[in-house]
A and B are shown apart, each in its own frame.
Chain A
């Protein structure tokens, strides 16, 4: 095994009690944490002292399908994310990784378990944790500037301050010139940058990114990786980043969490200790990706098998069959 990537034992099955098993020493984060020891010895200038920023304990989510059967989408997911940490969640499509972000965002309630932000349980959406969607979710009826301003406007931030911050965050993503443009006039990469600026403008502690770069071409994605890393290290935000691209996860993450195919469970966690900035095409990144991919492969095979066997049974879109609160 590469020395750059440490694999932690699978979290499933869950040990009887955290700390009682030598493989699962006492939790390092909040009480109840079941995350293995994460080596903190590396140079991580912007990772603040170890506090659990986002804590998931024994999350599960089940749907009742139209035919009345229960479908378990997420099962027993426990995860602690430190403040300032960049955690990537990977898994085959249909593992519920996007849904997990929706739960953390509070856009949808979980069936069991608890989600804590700074030790407080999540009750509905909050601007302390903002989601960046794959389809960016920008409002086409507003200009770029008005989009960035939106969250602040909802919060009741005074106009002058809003305008100043809007300009600041648009400069941060190099889009100052496009303040008055409409969304459809921008390219895909620019739209994602607006989405990032819009999320940052409400100054959340946690950014939840749902495959934000999946629909972009390779060059644009590379640029946005650099830009995201820069913003992350400058702002010290906590980022939970969902992707199906293992290399992307290693390129960006401090830690990579691998989910299993339906129901989504934490299969294993990898600590990525490669020096930053990393390049997507670095051999070290590729080697690390190979390791994770080997584990992921089984899950992908399972998902493909399920797809072939079940015929038309698309994976569950977040919020579609659950009657998400709206």
Chain B
């Protein structure tokens, strides 16, 4: 109750300030639109289905890209964590690669895949793969050894050991990495979409710029933030709650 009140006060104040600044007309309205202008743009965008289509296309891309990087990242991370040679060699490389903004892969992706959806997917994967890999590696190391021993002791080996023991045992330790991977995937996607006209939210955002429609630009920005926030709130918070119920602890996030 108190929390809801705090939210209401904060957002009312924020909108009030925004309205006030817009009303004062310090900047021309085409550069600094009022909240209802953005609201109208949002309404219009959903009305003519352009936002709906953009959201669907973007979500599809990020889901494919993110799923691939989760699977690859888990395999890579597990490999790096359980092999001393890989850990010493590839471990360092992975960390240094993480300093490369994912959009730097864009020119390479264009040359490899051409100007199409695969190039976008490649950038999304490169954006999130590293954080998933590093999280998995770390999770695998943080995971208490006893789970692996108990699993092997009870007859689990090979893939069964990974699937039934190592993966669920390391989940609380990798959930924050998965979350970070998602955030990177989402950002990389929007960036790539802005560079290449291909439907999607990034393109709609650039279209706002091309039409000099500041309300539409802000409307799409709000959409991008909202989707990122919703996925985080629904998928990852749900996952954390689920783990907490089972493990009886607050996972290390």
A residues sitting closer than 8 Å to B (CB atoms) are 102, 105, 107, 125-127, 130-131, 133, 135, 137-142, 150-151, 153-155, 182-185, 198, 202, 319-320, 323-326
Contacts of A131 in B (CB 8 A): 149-150, 153
Would you call A202 and B245 a contact (CB within 8 A)? Answer: no
A126-B151 Cα distance, complex, nearest whole Å: 11
Contacts of B155 in A (CB 8 A): 125-127, 151, 154-155, 202
Would you call A320 and B145 a contact (CB within 8 A)? Answer: yes
- Asked if B246 CB lies within 8 Å of chain A CBs, one says yes
B residues sitting closer than 8 Å to A (CB atoms) are 82, 84, 144-157, 160, 164-165, 168-169, 171, 243, 245-249
Would you call A133 and B148 a contact (CB within 8 A)? Answer: no
Contacts of B153 in A (CB 8 A): 105, 107, 125, 130-131, 137
Cβ-neighbour of B246 out of A107, A141, A150 (below 8 A) = A141
B13 to chain A, nearest CB (A): 42
Which A-chain residue is minimally distant from B166 (CB atoms)? A326
Would you call B149 and A137 a contact (CB within 8 A)? Answer: yes
Contacts of A184 in B (CB 8 A): 246-249
Contacts of A323 in B (CB 8 A): 84
Contacts of B145 in A (CB 8 A): 319-320, 324, 326
Cβ-neighbour of B82 out of A102, A135, A185, A326 (below 8 A) = A326
Cβ-neighbour of B154 out of A183, A202, A319 (below 8 A) = A202
Chain A contact residues, majority secondary structure: loop
Contacts of A153 in B (CB 8 A): 164
Contacts of B156 in A (CB 8 A): 150, 154
Which B-chain residue is minimally distant from A134 (CB atoms)? B146
Which B-chain residue is minimally distant from A143 (CB atoms)? B246
Residue among B153, B164, B168, B169 having the largest count of chain A Cβ atoms under 10 Å: B153
Closest 3 pairs between A and B when the two form their complex, measured CB to CB: A184-B248, A137-B150, A151-B154
Would you call A326 and B165 a contact (CB within 8 A)? Answer: no
Contacts of B152 in A (CB 8 A): 107, 125, 325-326
Would you call B149 and A107 a contact (CB within 8 A)? Answer: yes
Would you call B146 and A140 a contact (CB within 8 A)? Answer: no
Would you call A139 and B147 a contact (CB within 8 A)? Answer: yes
A273-B225 Cα distance, complex, nearest whole Å: 75
A126-B146 Cα distance, complex, nearest whole Å: 16
Which A-chain residue is minimally distant from B148 (CB atoms)? A326
Contacts of B82 in A (CB 8 A): 326
A131-B154 Cα distance, complex, nearest whole Å: 9
Contacts of A139 in B (CB 8 A): 147, 150-151, 165, 168-169
B17 to chain A, nearest CB (A): 46
A151-B151 Cα distance, complex, nearest whole Å: 8
Would you call B247 and A140 a contact (CB within 8 A)? Answer: yes
Contacts of B151 in A (CB 8 A): 139
A155-B146 Cα distance, complex, nearest whole Å: 20
Contacts of A105 in B (CB 8 A): 153
Would you call B245 and A182 a contact (CB within 8 A)? Answer: yes
A131-B153 Cα distance, complex, nearest whole Å: 7
Would you call A182 and B246 a contact (CB within 8 A)? Answer: yes
A198-B164 Cα distance, complex, nearest whole Å: 16
A82-B135 Cα distance, complex, nearest whole Å: 48
Which A-chain residue is minimally distant from B145 (CB atoms)? A319
A66-B155 Cα distance, complex, nearest whole Å: 31
Which B-chain residue is minimally distant from A137 (CB atoms)? B150
